[in-house]
Amino acid sequence: MSTATKAAPPPTRARGDVRGARRLFVVRELGIALALVLLIAVTTVYNPRFLNAQSRKDLMLGATILVVLAVGQAIVVITRNVDLSVGSVLGLSAFATGKLFLAMPDTPIVLALLAGIGLGVLCGVVNGALIAIARVPALVVTLGTLYVFRGIDYSWAAGQQINAADMPSGFKRMGTQTLLGVPVLALFAVAVLLIAGFYMRSYRSGRQLYAIGSDPAAARLSGIPVGWRVFTAMTVSGGLAGLAGVLYAARFGTLDAAAGNGIELQVVAAVVVGGVAIFGGSGSVYGAALGALLLSMIGSALPVLRIDPFWQQAVVGALILAAIGLDRALTARIAARLRGRRARGA
């Protein structure tokens, strides 16, 4: 009996460590939410019209595409990889949606959504295969496909521009309609966020993505199919970028080969600001969504506050540095706590 009693403490301490780490990361996400609320409060005091009905709608629409992309990017970054091709996939999918409606104006909206997601999944499969099978670093692969997919887009478009008049009225309404005051496009982002958050928290394969990001070699030794999980993460990111392309087409209507150009850096910034560790293994899709909201809000608030656009970029850069510094501090604090517990248990 005494032997069994002595064997119990280690699991209890481990659970305590995990709970402590989770509390720290929750505090980090709460910090982002607090910064978001503070920014909204200051801007509203300066200009009370900042949060009128039309402004609220514009703010939600402005954040929608970035949130969808940030959720996919967070899943990839948690596995210690990165997807720099999301902007090109978005542009390719958006233009493909416009071409689909030009060729078949009566195409159902659901079919257009599936076509855009399918094209994004195909791009994600290319990225995932090169990373998981050919063992090429994700940074190199997605930097290359960023230009390859964009080149295909430019070649396909050949200078053509698709206008809102070429889109069916039902598809254009989807980009402007609201449900209980919330834009329909924003509901897509909410659905994506909830599904991804539930999967990452509740499914074993979702938790394994964190193990891969924490230590890929240890995850492989423990029997986790690292290559397949990374391939799946890249495919999901590609699919969500394809969905973002269709939403982009519905919102803006006017499409050319430059759609989404450069947005990949905003997406990575949103994920890092949202508390997802750039070296993988920690963070959440909820934090990434908050980061996307904060960056979108900064883009809308600083012009209202009559601050030079240069400072917008400077603020985003400072947030990235602060997020990385905070992540390192939290990691060091958790490591110190674990060492202390082990020393006391020795």
> Is residue 257 predicted with pLDDT exceeding 90?
no
Q: Which residue has the tokens 């949130």?
A: 67
User: What pLDDT, on the 0 to 100 scale, is given for residue 8?
Assistant: 44
pLDDT tens readout for residues 65-80: 999 999 999 999 999 9
> Is residue 109 predicted with pLDDT exceeding 50?
yes
Q: How would DSSP label each residue in 205-259? A: HHHHHHHHHH-HHHHHHTT--HHHHHHHHHHHHHHHHHHHHHHHHHHH--B-TTT
> Is residue 176 predicted with pLDDT exceeding 80?
yes
* Nearest CA-CA partner of 263 in 50, 122, 62, 98: 62
- pLDDT-based confidence at 345, cuts 50/70/90? low
As a whole-number percent, the residues of the chain with pLDDT over 70 amount to 88
Of 3.90.1640, 1.10.8, 1.10.3470, 1.10.1060, which CATH number belongs to 47-324? 1.10.3470
Average pLDDT score, the chain: 85
Max Cα-Cα span within the chain: 80
> Is residue 153 predicted with pLDDT exceeding 90?
yes
pLDDT tens readout for residues 199-208: 999 999 999 9
* Nearest CA-CA partner of 109 in 247, 219, 276: 247
> Is residue 4 predicted with pLDDT exceeding 70?
no
Give the start-to-end residue ranges of the domains of the chain. Answer: 47-324
Give the whole-angstrom CA distance, residue 313 versus residue 311: 5
> Is residue 163 predicted with pLDDT exceeding 90?
no
CB 290 within 8 Å of CB 44: no
User: What pLDDT, on the 0 to 100 scale, is given for residue 313?
Assistant: 76
pLDDT tens readout for residues 43-101: 888 888 888 888 888 889 889 999 999 999 999 999 999 999 999 999 999 999 999 99
Count of C-beta atoms within a 10 Å radius of residue 179: 9
Give the whole-angstrom CA distance, residue 31 versus residue 322: 12
* C-alpha dihedral (131, 132, 134, 139), degrees to nearest 10: 10
User: What pLDDT, on the 0 to 100 scale, is given for residue 15?
Assistant: 52
